[in-house]
Structure 1
Amino acid sequence: MTTASGGAAPPPRRTDARLNRDRLVAVAREVFAASGPGASLNEIARRAGVGPGTLYRHFPNRQALLAAVLTDRVEALCARAGELVAAPSLPADEALARWAAAFLEHARAQQGIGGALLLEGSDYVGVDCHRLIVDAAGDVLGHAQGRGSARADLTAGELVQLLTGVALSTVHSEDSRQADRLLSLTLDGVHAGPRGARGPG
């Protein structure tokens, strides 16, 4: 097939394949969150409305699918930071609080996936997830620091450590209020600080 200019037309885009892949990742997120990283891959394929063969064409093994789910979650969390910082009517401290809550939800939801990848090894995670998260934390924290609503001596890495601590200490708690309280106390510390530790007012 040629174009009007006489050149070769590009091959048709495999939109169906892309949609299948996206649907598999979305379903896998839900199934892994509910049943853990050892959940049935055949069940994921069934819920996505495709056959096992289609799943394995996109993801040759469990590690590949786990890595895709983890990367998808991290990218969504990082995109959320950008959305919050760019929201014109949202105060900087509220943007930071909402992203911290999103981080907590992310960390609790992906509990087990990261561990499974570390234990069994994986060559399928093509991005530095930790670096992406620290960069996103730096965006929301820097936004708050620039408006004087967060202590200036806190680093993005420290913020991630604090939030990770809340997530790890409450992941098995049946009382969601405990996580909310610890997050609130953590944010109080982020917004407080010694005299001179806040950003410019």
Structure 2
Amino acid sequence: MNGPTAKPPLRADARRNRARVLAAAQEAFADEGLSVPLDEIARRAGVGAGTVYRHFPSKESLFEAVVLDGVERLSEQARERLTAAEPGPAFFEFIEIVAEQAMLNKALCEALESAGGSLSHTPHTDFRALFGELLRRAQAAGAVRQDLEPEDLTALLAGYLAINRQSSPGRALGRVLTDGLRAT
């Protein structure tokens, strides 16, 4: 794209700084969620706050970039499970993978629990479509109840994450929810 709105490619040092900011933000958001100060992200990246703002106009845009990267990785996990010989176990395994990743990353957890929030970009759309396809395949195999729609998955996932986050260690309360998804 060479039109008037195309951005010139970043210099090598600017690319490195951007990558450092993203890596530091990923770590900081995973630890503290959206409440982490931008100055702390800049400190972790070893750059000034101005460098952060040059690449990301707001903390929210940086947060979104970090979360979209996590969502893209989860989408790849879903794609891998679309070819599973047993769609039911693949569907429930994916729910577990998402929950594990979200529990390790407060930013991802917050984004997934927010039912999409401002994550309207393609990676989030892909995630939801792929998750929906996993559901349809599991339903066709008779492993998941038929009265669920792909649109229900965001709310179910948010509930599953909340249950897992608030239950005592060693308690599998999320299993109550997933057992309720199984076909009888």
TM-score (norm 2): 0.72
Cα deviation for residue 54 of structure 1 reads 2.1
Residues 112-159 of structure 1: per-residue CA shift (max 9 Å, x gap):
5687xx7xxx7xx56277644431221211222233322233212223
1:91 matches 2:82: no
Q: 1:177 aligns with which of 145, 155, 170?
A: 170
Name the counterpart of 1:34: 31
The reply on whether 1:189 has 2:176 as its aligned counterpart is no
Which digits, 9 at most, give the CA deviation of each residue in 1:141-198, with x for residues without a partner?
Answer: 122223332223321222332221122244344x2433xx2332222222223xxxxx
SS of the equivalent of 2:143 reads coil
Measure, in 1, the Cα distance between the counterparts of 2:180 and 2:43.
46
Say how many residue pairs are matched.
Answer: 172
Distance 1:29 1:156, change over 3 A: same
- Structure 1 residues without counterparts, runs of 5 or longer: 1-10, 194-201
| 2:21–2:42 CA contact under 8 A, matched in 1 | yes
Which has the larger displacement, 99-108 or 58-67? 99-108
Q: Name stretches of at least 5 consecutive residues in structure 2 with no aligned partner.
A: 1-7
Which AA in structure 1 matches 2:18? R
Q: Give CA deviations for 1:60-101 in whole Å, capped at 9, x if unaligned.
A: 221221222232222222222112223x5x632222122112
Q: Aligned pair in 2 of structure 1 residues 94, 16: CA closer, same or farther (>3 Å)?
A: farther
Change (3 A) 1:16 1:184: farther
CA distance in 2, matches of 1:167, 1:18: 35
Q: What residue in structure 2 maps to residue 143 of structure 1? A: 137
State the 1:39 CA deviation: 1.2
Of 118, 125, 128, the match for 1:134: 128
**Aligned 8 A contact 2:72 2:124 in 1:** no
